[in-house]
């Protein structure tokens, strides 16, 4: 015990503890109850302006005033509370920002009373700046993910649109038509009409005037057909020169009226004087269906009528 006590005495008397604290990467000071400086290591961060030991008072420190620590220090003295503050913004001699972190713990006398406090101040600038950089990177990364997600969603919508629409006319394509056909087949009380359209003389137009002229005729046919039916109608280009319309909840007489109106509009729009402009002709077949299970039969029937009408037109 005597040796241990002697070692402790030598440790403190030789100032060995001060050497350790001087090498400590933080500012370490102790103050008494009145705030007077009783110890300070060599690392000066915020309390260098208060003067020398025994005379310098922490209450006069600019840092102490800026951070409004007087009331906190009194609570430390009265209740033994530990003071802790993170990210105190200061500036070095060159005006650059530095972020400090400090903690103050009560010091007891030999009777257990609080005689002052130990302050430890760390320079936390590198940690804070690194954290800010990481936050910025995360923010940019999140922004990039959101941007890519929007682009991906847009691309998916475009792919979905392309997968269900005809690139030339903008109408729905065969894929969409088959999906709707499958839906309607499951409706037992389905009632409506099926129309098949075929563009007349498309091969001749392509051979004589070129495929650009043929494409224009197809687009013209699509415009006339889509302009005559209600929004609930399923209108699709199902082949090179073929279109199909599914009309739920529509009577045959109403469809026949629509077809007559369509033919008149096409006729009125023709240019009979200029032979270089191809004329649009449509062969049409209609079939009525009262049960979704019979849709395939109705399609076959409408297709057959369409070709019968095409044959009749050729003979005229």
Q: What six digits make up the tokens of 280? A: 């649009």
Closest CA to 299 of 286, 308, 284, 309: 286
Report whether pLDDT(305) > 60. Answer: yes
pLDDT tens sequence across 251-287: 999 999 999 999 999 888 876 666 666 778 899 999 9
- The architecture that CATH gives domain 174-315 is 2-Layer Sandwich (3.30)
* Mean pLDDT within 292-312: 89
Residue 235 burial (CB < 10 Å; 0-12/13-18/19+)? buried
Residue 224 or 11, more confident: 224
| Range 135-142 average pLDDT | 91
* pTM, two decimal places: 0.59
Model confidence over 78-95: pLDDT tens digits? 988 898 888 888 777 777
Residue predicted with more confidence, 298 or 19: 298
Mean of pLDDT values over 236-244:
95
The pLDDT value given to residue 52: 67
Q: What is the chain's mean pLDDT, rounded?
A: 85
The residues facing 196 across adjacent strands are 244, 285
Domain ranges of the chain: 2-129, 174-315
Sign of torsion over alpha carbons 33, 38, 40, 44: positive
More reliable by pLDDT, 63 or 103: 103
pLDDT digits 0-9 by tens, 2-60: 444 454 444 445 567 777 777 778 888 888 999 898 888 887 777 776 666 767 788 88
Residue 156 — pLDDT band, cuts 50, 70, 90? very high
**The CATH fold of domain 2-129:** Beta-Lactamase (3.30.450)
- Helix, strand, coil share of the chain (percent; to 5): 50, 25, 30
What length is written for the chain? 316
Average pLDDT over residues 120-133: 88
Q: Between 41 and 165, whose confidence is greater?
A: 165
Residue pointed to by tokens 């241990």: 4
**The Cα angle at residue 283 between residues 282 and 284, in degrees rounded to 5:** 110
Strand segments (E) across the chain: 27-32, 37-40, 83-91, 97-108, 114-123, 192-199, 234-237, 242-248, 282-289
The C-alpha atoms of residue 311 and residue 316 are separated, in whole angstroms, by 9
pLDDT computed for residue 14 by the predictor: 52
- Among 84, 32, 72, which Cα is nearest to 56's? 32
Q: Is the pLDDT of residue 250 over 60?
A: yes
| Three-state secondary structure call for residue 71 | helix
pLDDT score for 66: 84
List of residues 6+ apart from 42 with CB closer than 8 A: 22
């Amino acid at each position: 015990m005597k040796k241990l006590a002697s070692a402790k005495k030598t440790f403190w008397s030789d100032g060995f503890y001060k050497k350790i604290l001087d090498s400590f990467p933080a500012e370490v000071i102790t103050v008494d109850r009145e705030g007077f400086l009783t110890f300070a290591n060599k690392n000066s961060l915020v309390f260098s302006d208060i003067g020398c030991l025994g005379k310098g008072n922490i209450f006069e420190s600019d840092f102490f005033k800026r951070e409004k620590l007087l009331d906190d220090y009194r609570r430390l003295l009265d209740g033994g509370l530990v003071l802790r503050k993170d990210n105190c913004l200061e500036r070095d001699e060159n005006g650059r920002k530095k972020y400090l972190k400090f903690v103050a713990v009560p010091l007891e006398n030999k009777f257990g009373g609080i005689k002052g406090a130990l302050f430890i101040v760390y320079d936390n600038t590198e940690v804070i700046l690194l954290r800010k950089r990481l936050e910025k990177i995360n923010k940019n990364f999140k922004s990039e993910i959101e941007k890519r997600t929007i682009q991906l969603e847009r691309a998916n919508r475009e792919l979905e649109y392309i997968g269900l629409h005809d690139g030339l006319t903008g109408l729905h394509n065969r894929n969409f038509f088959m999906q709707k056909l499958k839906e309607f087949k499951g409706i037992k009380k389905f009632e409506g009409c099926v129309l098949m359209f075929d563009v007349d003389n498309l091969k001749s137009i392509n051979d004589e005037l070129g495929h650009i002229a043929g494409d224009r005729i197809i687009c013209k046919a699509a415009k006339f057909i889509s302009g005559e039916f209600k929004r609930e109608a399923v209108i699709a280009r199902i082949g090179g020169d073929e279109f199909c319309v599914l009309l739920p909840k529509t009577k045959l007489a109403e469809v026949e009226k629509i077809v007559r109106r369509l033919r008149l509009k096409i006729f009125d729009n023709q240019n009979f004087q200029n032979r270089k402009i191809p004329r649009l002709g449509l062969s049409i077949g209609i079939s009525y269906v009262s049960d979704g299970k019979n849709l395939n039969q109705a399609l076959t029937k409408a297709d057959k009528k369409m070709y019968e009408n095409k044959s009749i037109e050729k003979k005229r």
